[in-house]
């Protein structure tokens, strides 16, 4: 199939590349000329494990190209995917301007039958608006579908190649048939492709993210209760997660959820409910709990140093909102670092891949290092914010020697408190 992918971000680039890998001809179009130029030079603008070799191979095989010529992309394709951003507006609702701009471009450039697939996360009713906008611009025939993307940054290629499920929202049998053919190579192991109405498909994406965010906030709230009541959340989590009705995933307490999806999608579904005069009770609480949780680690540090961090150096391990990505959108590290800076702390930070994306946000207010041990030299404390694998088994003896005072604030509960305390560390976790 000939595919035009609108948006070469985390979703568009991965999706476009994986669809090229399965034999389609894909052009990824983007309005960001810098990004497109970079991609044309063979440079990958994001960090995503496994993506680079896949892009290189498909570019070499001439199945994958990059362009800023949006109209040409539409004209040369039969399937058009919308994978542009849907960031939150100030009031929490989704800013759909990028999606609607793409719809207008499609309407103005369309030159025959096309299938238009919305992969961006969009509120219920958006695909209908996309259809209306295209129809305002053209009489050409086209079919429409909602096919929300469920890939996880950090494992995006793997997730796209082996999806747990594919959600396909369309009322049009011809469209359903074509999309099933497109995805057939990815569901050969029998994972389901679930077909439903467009509105249900749009809602499914928000329901999934809201459920996951709820689990995180629930466990964070419980962790804080454990701490107050003298219980250990790590044991409670193991006990609770072994119930097959609950399951062990997404039960890890920490510094709150971040990233480009959970915070904005929880806010957006709350807004959707408001627009339908429907009063949601759980999700506003999930969001509120998360806001507080993002501040918790900084509060623990401030309390430990009796509110005065002037002259104190805090080393930070991990900046990205989760491991295996350089994405800093809504990263808890930003909230934590800003709170510590406000109290006068000096921050020295390390992250395996997110130093540059953090520098773009925090500039010279903190210092950056490519060596996680170097920043411990003379540090008054270490805050572990992102659970990169390389932090799990560090050289504790070396750390003891380097640090001015061996205090660890473990925002992800990756260490065993008993072991660390026995070695001479002062340890603070979440809920333990
Ligand atoms: P992103 O910001 O990384 O990328 C969006 C890209 O779209 C940018 O490169 C931007 O320049 C481009 N763009 C904007 N307007 C355009 C236009 N008119 N024509 C062509 N390109 C245009 O965003 P992302 O993280 O890839 O997310 C895209 C969508 O997918 C969002 O709705 C998001 O909620 C959803 N989603 C994201 C993830 C994730 O993990 N990032 C997972 C599932 C779903």
Domain boundary among 136, 160, 195: 195
Scored b (16 or more CB within 10 A) or e, 295-319 reads bbbbebbbebbeeebeebbbbbbbb
Q: What is the mean pLDDT of the chain?
A: 97
* Burial label, 172 (beta-carbon count in 10 A; 0-12, 13-18, 19+): middle
First CA to last CA across the chain, in angstroms? 53
pLDDT band at 310 (very low <50, low <70, confident <90, very high): very high
Q: Do 182 and 209 lie in a common domain?
A: no
pLDDT score of 131 more than 90: yes
Q: Do 250 and 187 lie in a common domain?
A: no
Range of the domain at 286: 197-432
Q: Do 212 and 188 lie in a common domain?
A: no
Q: Do 143 and 90 lie in a common domain?
A: yes
SS (H, E, C) 23-50: CCEEEEECCCHHHHHHHHCCCCCCCCCC
Q: How far apart are CA 78 and CA 102, in angstroms?
A: 15
Domain boundary among 170, 195, 220: 195
CATH number of the domain within which 38 lies? 3.40.50.720
Q: Do 190 and 250 lie in a common domain?
A: no
Tally of structural domains, the chain: 2
Catalytic-residue membership of 432: no
Query: How many A from CA of 48 to the centre of ligand 1?
Result: 15
Q: Do 332 and 240 lie in a common domain?
A: yes
Q: Do 403 and 377 lie in a common domain?
A: yes
pLDDT confidence of residue 249: 95
Q: What is the pLDDT of residues 168-192, one digit of tens each?
A: 999 999 999 999 999 999 998 889 9
Q: Do 113 and 151 lie in a common domain?
A: yes
Mean pLDDT of 352-379: 98
pLDDT band at 253 (very low <50, low <70, confident <90, very high): very high
The distance of Cα 71 from the centroid of its chain, to the nearest Å, equals 29
The proportion of the chain whose per-residue pLDDT surpasses 70, expressed as a percent, equals 100
Q: How far apart are CA 350 and CA 333, in angstroms?
A: 11
Number of other CB atoms surrounding residue 34 within 10 Å? 10
Q: Do 289 and 220 touch, CB atoms closer than 8 A? A: yes
Q: What is the pLDDT of residues 321-330, one digit of tens each?
A: 999 999 999 9
Q: Do 263 and 188 lie in a common domain?
A: no
pLDDT confidence of residue 189: 86
Domain boundary among 147, 177, 195: 195
Q: What is the pLDDT of residues 42-68, one digit of tens each?
A: 999 999 999 999 999 999 999 999 999
Contact residues for 167 (Cβ-Cβ < 8 A; gap 6+):
146, 147, 148, 150, 194, 196, 201, 204, 205
Q: Do 335 and 388 lie in a common domain?
A: yes
Q: How many residues in the chain?
A: 432
Ligand 1 atom closest to the Cα of residue 32 is 11
Query: How many A from CA of 83 to the centre of ligand 1?
Result: 5
- The Cα-based distances of 161 to 20, 25, 32, 71, 308 in angstroms read 12, 17, 26, 29, 50
Q: How far apart are CA 24 and CA 2, in angstroms?
A: 6
Q: Do 49 and 190 lie in a common domain?
A: yes
Q: Do 176 and 29 lie in a common domain?
A: yes
Q: What share of the chain is helix, strand, coil (3-state, %, to 5)?
A: 45, 15, 40
Q: How far apart are CA 337 and CA 302, in angstroms?
A: 11
On the CB side of 413, how many CA atoms lie within 13 Å of its CA? 19
Ligand 1 atom closest to the Cα of residue 105 is 18
Q: What is the pLDDT of residues 254-302, one digit of tens each?
A: 999 999 999 999 999 999 999 999 999 999 999 999 999 999 999 999 9
Residues with CB under 6 A from ligand 1: 6-12, 29-32, 35, 70, 83-86, 98, 101-102, 120-121, 149, 151, 153, 260-261
């Amino acid at each position: 199939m000939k595919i035009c992918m609108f948006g070469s971000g985390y979703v568009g680039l991965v999706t476009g590349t994986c669809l090229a890998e399965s034999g389609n001809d894909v052009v990824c179009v983007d309005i960001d000329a810098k990004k497109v130029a970079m991609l044309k030079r063979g440079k990958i603008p994001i960090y995503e494990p496994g993506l680079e070799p896949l892009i290189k191979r498909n570019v070499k095989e001439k199945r994958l190209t990059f362009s800023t010529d949006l109209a040409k992309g539409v004209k040369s394709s039969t399937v058009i995917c919308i994978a542009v951003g849907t960031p939150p507006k100030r009031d929490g609702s989704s800013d759909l301007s990028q999606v609607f701009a793409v719809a207008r471009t499609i309407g103005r450039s369309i030159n025959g039958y096309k299938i238009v697939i919305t992969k961006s996360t969009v509120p219920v009713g958006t695909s209908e608006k996309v259809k209306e906008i295209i129809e305002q611009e053209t009489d050409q025939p086209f079919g429409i579908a909602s096919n929300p993307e469920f890939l996880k940054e950090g494992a995006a290629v793997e997730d796209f190649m082996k999806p747990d499920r594919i959600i396909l929202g369309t009322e049009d049998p011809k469209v359903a048939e074509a999309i099933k053919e497109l995805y057939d190579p990815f569901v050969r192991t029998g994972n389901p492709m679930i077909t439903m109405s467009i509105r249900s498909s749009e809602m499914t994406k928000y329901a999934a993210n809201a459920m996951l965010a709820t689990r995180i906030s629930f466990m964070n709230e419980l962790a804080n209760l454990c701490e107050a009541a003298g219980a250990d959340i790590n044991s409670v989590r193991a006990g609770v997660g072994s119930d097959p009705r609950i399951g062990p995933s997404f039960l890890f307490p920490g510094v709150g959820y971040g990233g480009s999806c959970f915070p904005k999608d929880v806010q957006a579904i709350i807004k959707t409910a408001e627009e339908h005069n429907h009063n949601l009770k759980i999700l506003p609480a999930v969001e509120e709990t998360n806001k507080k949780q993002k501040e918790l680690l900084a509060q623990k540090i401030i309390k430990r140093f009796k509110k005065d961090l002037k002259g104190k150096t805090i080393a930070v391990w991990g900046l990205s909102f989760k491991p295996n990505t350089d994405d800093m959108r809504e990263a808890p590290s930003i909230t934590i670092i800003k709170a510590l800076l406000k109290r006068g702390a000096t921050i020295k930070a390390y992250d395996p891949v997110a130093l540059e994306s953090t520098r773009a946000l925090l500039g010279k207010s903190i210092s950056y290092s490519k060596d996680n041990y170097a920043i411990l030299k003379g540090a008054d404390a270490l805050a572990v914010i992102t659970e990169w694998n390389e932090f799990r088994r560090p050289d504790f003896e070396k750390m003891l020697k380097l640090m001015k005072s061996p205090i660890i604030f473990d925002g992800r509960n990756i260490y065993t408190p008993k072991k660390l305390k026995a070695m001479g560390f002062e340890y603070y976790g979440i809920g333990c």
